[in-house]
């Protein structure tokens, strides 16, 4: 593929479409366009487009209203149709690794791999209990019919999808420059999924991708709905806090038991929901030995965006940067 001059990083969730058009010249990134558009209830459900006409109308509104010019796009996905798993495989030559991982992936993915598009990221090397060398990988599996639908919808808007990536990993890339030596956890809450990854020097040593359980689903969806409406109830905040505290505490405890010599130093909490500072303080009270922070993104990049915009579009920027560097 020819080197891209500019590209759109685009992310879709239940409530909105966000996009950033980015260019790179002499190693310097510049934002050419940036915008978002809200999605009416029912357009997106469970990670799928349910109202194609409504989605297309909103996408065109975003592209035209935001004055986007590029036609190449990289799409970020992060919903209940995306599964991430940490796995270890016997160390083999690099040219044989992909075949081995794809052949054995079904052992780690709870959905038939024939229905999934599979990829992986090498997350370092180590040894197993028998002192045999292993390679650790982050497996990423996404439902093929969801990806095909996204490609079709973007193609209808005259956009060419050049890559589909994990929004969660795009966030992590944005954080890696902030804490290059620190072992940190990335905690990301969306309206359908909770991601927990442990990272140091861009190497991932744990991943949990948790679909919001039924007992907490209504509260989490209410949190995002009430954020959009501008007023979050104490009841919603309390229920979501309880869910986050439980899942984060269990994730930290599990990691600590497996890695006593290398503890998590900071948890970076990222969400588009309101009251993130309150949620972060509740999490910190539960994991009292680890500070919980709301990170700032791209502090060393002069992108022409406010701090709030960098946070809001951090994943889109990360998606576009990865594509331009590739």
pLDDT tens digits for 134-169?
A: 898 999 999 999 999 999 999 999 999 999 999 988
**Per-position b or e across 77-112, b if 16+ CB within 10 A of its CB:** bbbbbbbbbbbbbebeeeeebeebbeeebeebbeee
Tokens at residue 319, please?
Answer: 């998606």
Is the model's pLDDT at 269 over the cut of 90?
A: yes
Is the model's pLDDT at 75 over the cut of 90?
A: yes
The CA distance from 320 to 19, in Å, is: 10
Confidence class for position 179, pLDDT limits 50, 70, 90: low
Cβ atoms of 33 and 11 closer than 8 Å: no
**What's this model's pTM, rounded to 2 decimal places?**
0.88
Mean pLDDT of 199-204: 83
Q: Is the dihedral of CA 70, 65, 313, 207 positive or negative?
A: negative
CA geometry: angle at 248 spanning 245 and 250, to 5°? 105
Residue 49, CA distances (Å) to 43, 146, 151, 153, 191 in order:
6, 8, 11, 9, 15
Q: Which pLDDT belongs to residue 178?
A: 62
Confidence class for position 1, pLDDT limits 50, 70, 90: very low
Mean pLDDT of 319-326: 87
Q: Which pLDDT belongs to residue 2?
A: 54
Packing angle between helix 276-286 and helix 234-258, nearest 10 degrees? 40
The CA distance from 201 to 183, in Å, is: 8
Q: Give the closest residue to 78 by CA, choosing from 153, 9, 167.
A: 167
């Amino acid at each position: 593929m020819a080197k891209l001059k500019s590209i759109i990083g685009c992310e879709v969730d239940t409530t909105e479409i966000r996009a950033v058009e980015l260019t790179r010249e002499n190693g310097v990134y510049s934002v050419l366009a940036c915008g978002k558009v809200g999605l009416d209830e029912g357009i997106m459900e469970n990670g799928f487009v349910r109202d194609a006409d409504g989605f297309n109308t909103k996408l065109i509104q975003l592209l035209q209203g935001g004055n986007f010019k590029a036609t190449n796009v990289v799409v970020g996905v992060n919903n209940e149709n995306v599964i991430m798993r940490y796995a270890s495989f016997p160390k083999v030559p690099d040219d044989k690794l992909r075949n081995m991982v794809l052949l054995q992936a079904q052992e780690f993915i709870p959905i038939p791999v024939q229905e999934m598009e599979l990829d992986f990221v090498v997350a370092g090397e180590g040894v197993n209990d028998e002192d045999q060398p292993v390679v650790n990988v982050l497996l990423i599996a996404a439902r093929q019919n969801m990806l095909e639908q996204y490609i079709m919808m973007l193609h209808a808007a005259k956009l060419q999808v050049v890559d589909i990536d994990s929004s969660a990993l795009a966030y992590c890339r944005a954080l890696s420059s902030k804490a290059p030596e620190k072992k940190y956890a990335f905690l990301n809450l969306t309206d359908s999924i909770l991601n927990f990854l442990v990272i140091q020097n861009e190497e991932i040593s744990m991943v949990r991708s948790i679909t919001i359980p039924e007992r907490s689903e209504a509260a989490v969806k209410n949190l995002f709905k009430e954020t959009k409406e501008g007023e979050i109830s104490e009841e919603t905040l309390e229920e979501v806090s309880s869910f986050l505290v439980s899942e984060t505490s269990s994730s930290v405890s599990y990691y600590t038991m497996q890695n006593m010599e290398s503890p998590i130093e900071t948890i970076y909490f990222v969400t588009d929901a309101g009251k993130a500072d309150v949620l972060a303080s509740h999490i910190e009270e539960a994991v009292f030995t680890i500070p919980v922070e709301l990170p700032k993104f791209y502090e060393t990049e002069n992108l022409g965006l406010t701090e709030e915009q960098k946070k809001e579009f951090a994943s889109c920027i990360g998606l576009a940067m990865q594509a331009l560097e590739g």
